[in-house]
Amino acid sequence: MSGKIFGREVGWGCSPILLVIDVTRAFTEPDRPLGSDCTDLLEQANTLIRAARAGHIPVMVTRVAYDRPDLSDAGLWAKKIGRLDDLVEGGEGVLIDARLEVTAEDPVLTKKYASCFFGTDLASRLTAAGVDTLVIAGLSTSGCVRATVVDALQHGFRPIVVKDAVGDRWAEAHRQALADMQAKYADLTTTEAAAERLRDRPRD
């Protein structure tokens, strides 16, 4: 057999969006049950946001939030993971981290499961806006980022994961998820390279 089997490049399309996944206080504050220190990740995400603004690229953020205090709308995920009570609507855990440089004009997608596509209108929003490429930062690499990447590819969008702007509680899971995504589901890039591409996107 000839040619490279795994890890080929999908490449950027013509119309990207910056998708920042679940950078909420439940995950970015180390003293919370699901939290960890995300200081470096926030710096990288903000670099991407500034570049997107400069290049007139839309920015969207996501969060996980449950309406029911008993977490019945989290289904079996609540049973499997546990400690999701910090993600009930109305609590501080569901708030976007104030250090993230988003504005009231940036749309916020609320979801209940790992993938940003599952049970949401994300695919139709992106299609209506003519988006073909998702530049992805956020949390967590092995969970919501990976699940979103798999669904993005399956929906026909080009996933570009910014490898130093995603993070995970477990370093090994982070490394393994990046390798898996690069092999089968996404292109990987750096904050520096992605920011340059976002900032200098050719105009129509």
CATH placement of domain 16-199: 3.40.50.850
Residue 161 near residue 102 (C-beta atoms within 8 A): no
pLDDT (average), residues 156-170: 97
Residue tagged 């806006």 (tokens): 129
The pTM score is 0.94
Residue 1: per-residue pLDDT: 43
pLDDT tens-digit readout, 91-130: 999 999 999 999 999 999 999 999 999 999 999 999 999 9
For residue 138, give Cα distances in angstroms to 3, 86, 96, 127, 132.
Answer: 33, 18, 12, 22, 19
Of 14, 38, 116, 144, which is the active-site residue? 144
**Cα 93 from Cα 35, distance rounded (Å):** 9
| Known catalytic residue at 144 | yes
Residue 200: per-residue pLDDT: 86
**Cα 177 from Cα 94, distance rounded (Å):** 25
pLDDT tens-digit readout, 167-196: 999 999 999 999 999 999 999 999 999 999
Residue 58 near residue 19 (C-beta atoms within 8 A): no
- Percentage of the chain exceeding pLDDT 90: 87
